[in-house]
């Protein structure tokens, strides 16, 4: 822990009630615990409850200000606050690096970027050049060759995402999948797998948690709902909409199995949150090859292979109590060891 560090964090949103970026609230708290001072510049400011050594400055999206004003505020903040930070940590949006690097370099600030996604836009290639440090979760999370790269895992609050001793009795296997409603999440594979199992007479309850934000995502949700109806699965598969990240723990604790069908190729926080509470987690995401260790063969299937996913679900159902307990303990141990939030923040700060 280095209490002398003064850090600037640049991120899209500070809002503990957000379903996608709500976790950032917890990250900022942990950075504040390990730093002397944290200044946060965000595009959108919602509800938050952060320590006294944190200052949050918004570019004003919540007030509907113009894009021009975003730029004016951004440059004003990074210059005005220059004595309140030594290092810069940009979260997922490399455009802020492109906008700010000249001033930050002029001021002698070290610039770091967190990027964990399989997509490599041209802007990322541009941003890589002036950066001092790049942080990602796994090898597959940053697909450019760079000597600046540091693999630090993910940041999961394992004290919050913890198992509970009492499970609610249910005669159905309760499956949960979490992620925005987008074609890249490939929910069709889950729907088809469930259809296979229902035809075999299995009792299932499937909850898909995730919101929509773009017109194409609304269209995709309509496609999924029509698909569910055509397969007569409306009483089995439920689209629950967005749930704030801070409330996801309750939903996970009421589930028996987490299924991820995403095609992004990057390490999904939701999977690690599920593992942290001890949920068996099935996935086709290649990033998990670096995470699951001896459980790779047991818990992974090929992308879009709904029959293989169905068989993996059958395998989970067939585990006895002792086997389930061991799997739950082992999966949580992976997260605690390699992806706990305090470890994550310390590794980032130590690598500046």
Structural domain includes residue 168: no
Structural domain includes residue 63: yes
Structural domain includes residue 164: no
Query: What are the pLDDT digits (tens) for 75-131?
Result: 999 999 999 999 999 999 999 999 999 999 999 999 999 999 888 999 999 999 999
Q: Are residues 49 and 146 in the same domain?
A: yes
Structural domain includes residue 165: no
Q: Are residues 27 and 133 in the same domain?
A: yes
Q: Are residues 134 and 241 in the same domain?
A: no
The residue segments making up the domain with residue 54 are: 6-157+340-350
Q: Are residues 346 and 328 in the same domain?
A: no
Residues ≥6 apart with Cβ < 8 Å to 124: 94, 115, 144
Q: How confident is the model at residue 168 (pLDDT cuts 50, 70, 90)?
A: low
% of the chain exceeding 70 in pLDDT: 97
- The CATH number of the domain where 68 resides is what? 3.40.50.2000
Q: Are residues 152 and 245 in the same domain?
A: no
pTM equals 0.92
Q: Which single residue is written with the structure tokens 């303990």? A: 329
Q: Are residues 15 and 117 in the same domain?
A: yes
Tell me how far apart the alpha carbons of residues 8 and 16 are, in angstroms, rounded to a whole number: 19
Structural domain includes residue 226: yes
Looking at the structure of the chain, the number of domains it has is: 2
Tell me how far apart the alpha carbons of residues 9 and 24 are, in angstroms, rounded to a whole number: 10
Q: How confident is the model at residue 213 (pLDDT cuts 50, 70, 90)?
A: confident
Tell me how far apart the alpha carbons of residues 346 and 342 are, in angstroms, rounded to a whole number: 6
Concatenating the DSSP letter of every residue in 138-184 gives: SGGG--S--TTEEE----B-TTTS---S-PPP-SSEEEEEES-S-GG
Q: Are residues 95 and 33 in the same domain?
A: yes
């Amino acid at each position: 822990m280095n209490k002398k560090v003064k850090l600037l964090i640049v991120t899209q949103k500070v809002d503990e009630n957000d379903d996608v970026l709500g976790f950032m609230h917890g990250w900022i708290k942990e950075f504040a615990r390990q730093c002397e001072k944290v200044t946060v510049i965000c595009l959108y400011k919602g509800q938050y409850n952060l320590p006294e050594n944190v200052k949050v400055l918004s570019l004003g999206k919540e007030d509907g200000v113009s894009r021009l004003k975003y730029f004016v505020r951004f440059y004003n903040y990074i210059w005005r606050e220059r004595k309140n930070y030594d290092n810069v940590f940009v979260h997922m949006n490399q455009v802020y690096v492109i906008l700010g690097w000249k001033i930050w370099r002029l001021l002698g600030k070290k610039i770091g970027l967190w990027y964990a996604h399989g997509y490599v836009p041209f802007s990322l290639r541009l941003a890589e050049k002036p950066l001092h440090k790049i942080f990602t979760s796994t090898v597959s999370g940053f697909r450019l060759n760079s000597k600046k790269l540091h693999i630090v895992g993910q940041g999961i609050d394992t004290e919050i995402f913890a198992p509970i001793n009492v499970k609610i009795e249910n005669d159905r296997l309760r499956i949960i999948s979490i992620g925005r409603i987008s074609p890249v999440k490939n929910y069709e594979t889950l729907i088809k797998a469930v259809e296979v199992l229902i035809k075999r007479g299995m009792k299932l309850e499937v909850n898909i948690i995730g919101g929509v934000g773009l017109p194409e995502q609304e269209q995709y949700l309509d496609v999924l709902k029509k698909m569910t109806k055509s397969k007569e699965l409306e009483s089995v598969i439920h689209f629950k909409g967005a749930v704030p990240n801070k409330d996801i723990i309750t939903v996970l604790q009421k589930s028996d199995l987490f299924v991820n069908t995403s095609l992004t190729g990057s390490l999904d926080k939701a999977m690690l949150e599920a593992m942290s509470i001890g949920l068996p987690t099935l996935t086709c995401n290649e990033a998990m090859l670096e995470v699951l260790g001896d459980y790779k063969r047991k818990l992974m299937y090929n992308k879009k292979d709904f029959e293989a996913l169905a068989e993996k679900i059958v395998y989970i159902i067939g585990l006895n109590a002792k086997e389930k307990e061991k799997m739950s303990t082992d999966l949580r141990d992976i997260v605690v060891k390699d992806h706990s939030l305090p470890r994550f923040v310390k590794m980032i700060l130590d690598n500046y």
